[in-house]
Structure 1
């Protein structure tokens, strides 16, 4: 991410926390960042896009840390899961995201609300998939139910703790308690009740993955055009064209895509395209998982 983009995001983020998203104006961001209006619009089309960039950047950090935690470890290891969930909660605290979410919830902007819903959907789906890793024999039909229950227990324990104490709460203790509650439920679930929410409840239509691939290819083609106009390096163009060609295949080769993602991030590091490339590669990760 360029220094100027980071400067704008940092200023906007602080204002969204202090004043609220709705009460923060573009002019407030310009004054806080010490930049001209033209500079802001070089990077963002609107205040909404600026907020999206903040949330996407934090989500990228969370996903990266979660992957690093899992390297060389069994996905069925409960300690890995606890550590991965802790990353998200601590990141939310560090960046005061709950405060930001509260101010955005009053927004009338349908596109922004949809974006926030997608963030929530993605987190529930990730937690559900991890329960399938943890308890494949018991949780398979209940993964989304368990994700909702786990998230609800965690969220409300944290809120209720704050109502009765000013002391710092041990987040890992909360997560462990919520996990043990779900595990206890899973031991008897199939003998008691059918799943409330089908595992596919949040998946969208059957063509959702195809749509994702199509949208990624479109973004790659747009990036390729920008590289031509902005005189990008031959290496950058080759990597972009590789992704386009591979994703257009009937069955993209996941192992090849995985291998090229890291080298692509390095090739675009500290360039004006770094943020866009990060977003694209994160979407490719999700497609091939």
Structure 2
């Protein structure tokens, strides 16, 4: 990616945070980044594509750094998983990705909502794969259920934990608490045999052939 395009992405990201994605026009981006309309459309087909590039760039860097935390570490150690989740969630907040996620989630833009949905499925797949590292095979039929619950517990618990302790409070206690509760639950599920969703359904939700164009890892060709 050339420096000029990177500058446009950075400037647009700043405008989206300050003004909101919907309230920021392409003309605003042109004026703030100092480029022509022709240059903009040489880089991006639309404002939506620009936002997707922001998400891709942030997630790709986070994912690489998060996965690098496994190098030389024991993947079956819950503390490593806790460290990875803490890093992922902290990175998303530091990169100011959460407000953009929330704006898209509550918008009527189906293209962007589909894109965000795929990102959520990717998170669930990663949770499922990492929980498999931490549990024995008897728990594996219940891993998607556990991943969905872990995601929900994290999001809601962090929200209220920071409301009580301030936005600057460390989220590590919440992450540690949530992971340990899910692991405790997974110890008991094989006994009850209760399953809501089979892990295999992720292959239907996230088929590579249907999501390639919206893949977080897709490299820009412009």
Q: TM-score, normalised by structure 2?
A: 0.89
- 1:64 equivalent in alignment to 2:47: no
C-alpha distance 149-106 of structure 1, shift in aligned 2 (>3 A): closer
Residue in 2 that maps onto 1:9:
9
Q: Deviation of residue 193 (structure 1)?
A: 4.2
* Separation in 2, partners of 1:27, 1:86: 37
Q: Deviation of residue 186 (structure 1)?
A: 1.4
Q: Deviation of residue 199 (structure 1)?
A: 0.6
Structure 1 residues without counterparts, runs of 5 or longer:
217-277, 281-289
Structure 2 residues without counterparts, runs of 5 or longer:
none
Q: Deviation of residue 212 (structure 1)?
A: 6.7
Instruction: Specify which of 198, 204, 218 is matched with residue 279 of structure 1.
Output: 218
Q: Deviation of residue 74 (structure 1)?
A: 2.3
Please show how residues 120-269 of structure 1 align to structure 2 within 5 Å: 120-166=120-166, 168-204=168-204, 208-209=207-208, 211=209
Please show how residues 13-52 of structure 1 align to structure 2 within 5 Å: 13-52=13-52
Residue in 2 that maps onto 1:119:
119
Q: Deviation of residue 21 (structure 1)?
A: 1.0
Residue in 2 that maps onto 1:77:
77
Q: TM-score, normalised by structure 1?
A: 0.70
Structure 1 residue ranges, 4+ long, deviating more than 6 angstroms after superposition: none
Alignment check: 8 A CA contact 2:161 2:174 kept: no
Q: Deviation of residue 67 (structure 1)?
A: 2.2
* Separation in 2, partners of 1:33, 1:142: 49
* Separation in 2, partners of 1:129, 1:26: 40
Query: What whole-Å deviation, never above 9, does each CA across 1:104-137 have from its counterpart, x for those lacking one?
Result: 1233222211111001111111101110111133
Deviating more after overlay: 47-56 vs 169-178: 169-178
SS of residue matched to 1:200 = helix
C-alpha distance 13-205 of structure 1, shift in aligned 2 (>3 A): closer
Q: Deviation of residue 78 (structure 1)?
A: 1.5
SS of residue matched to 1:195 = coil
* Count of residue pairs the alignment pairs up: 218
Aligned Cα root-mean-square deviation (Å): 2.4
